[in-house]
Amino acid sequence: MNIFSNLNTSELRVFQRLNSPAKIQDYLETIPINFERNGQTCYSPRQVLKFNRAHCMEGAMLAATILYFHGHKPLIVDLRAHKRDRDHAIAVFKVGGKWGAISKTNHAVLRYREPIYNSIRELVMSYFHEYFLDNGKKTLRSYSLPVDLSKFDSKNWITSPQDLWYIDKYLNQVHHIPILNKKQIASLRSADRIEIQAGKLTAQKKNQN
């Protein structure tokens, strides 16, 4: 089965020109943030292109799809935070044996990572000090190993006209690897004032979209 046989002409044009991770990331930056004003969504890649908006999970799945189109595996890593904070999803890829990440976010942090990391853990840990609440408390707690979205090819996830909640559910159920023990959590230093201030910088305000 050719998973890309259902792409329309417009989708093909987009996929064909985005032939590197950097170009995919640049393209994601042009897509407005999905603030989910009418309720929670988990758009398929086709829906993201149709509605022209995406949150982190939706952006990660679109990025993974385009990487897949160009010969990479469509891999997603789920970053899990403390329950008071939000989780984050990234599309990961390998170049020259090193890991990098494509990330859709509205904030100044948790963004693209160059393919310079030796392992998924090393890549994930590059996000740790940027992952904090407005009060400065650092909240990243665990991560999944890369999930290969090709396991859902039989469901035509790429061009589905419906939200992909079954992928979201799968990510929530897979094993997540803790990155801290209780002693380390108890001794964490909060982000300082200038870090908190920088963390509040956003690409868009809610009233823009």
Residue 119 lies in a domain: yes
Instruction: Output the six-digit token pair for 151.
Output: 């396991």
64 in Cβ contact with 58 (< 8 Å): no
pLDDT digits (tens), the chain, 209 positions: 589 999 999 999 999 999 999 999 999 999 999 999 999 999 999 999 999 999 999 999 999 999 999 999 999 999 999 988 899 999 999 999 999 999 999 988 899 999 999 999 999 999 999 999 999 999 999 999 999 999 999 999 999 999 999 999 999 999 999 999 999 999 999 999 999 998 888 888 876 54
Residue 133 lies in a domain: yes
- Tokens 């799945």 sit on residue: 61
Residue 2 lies in a domain: no
List the domain range (segments joined by +) for residue 195: 9-204
3 state DSSP class of 145: coil
CATH classification at residue 122: 3.10.620
Using a 10 angstrom Cβ sphere, with 0-12 exposed, 13-18 middle and 19 or more buried, the burial of residue 54 is: buried
Residue 3 lies in a domain: no
Residue 80 lies in a domain: yes
Domain total for the chain?
1
CA distances from 206 to 30, 34, 88, 90, 199 (A): 16, 9, 19, 22, 16
The pTM is what?
0.95
Residue 1 lies in a domain: no
Residue 89: beta bridge partners? 78
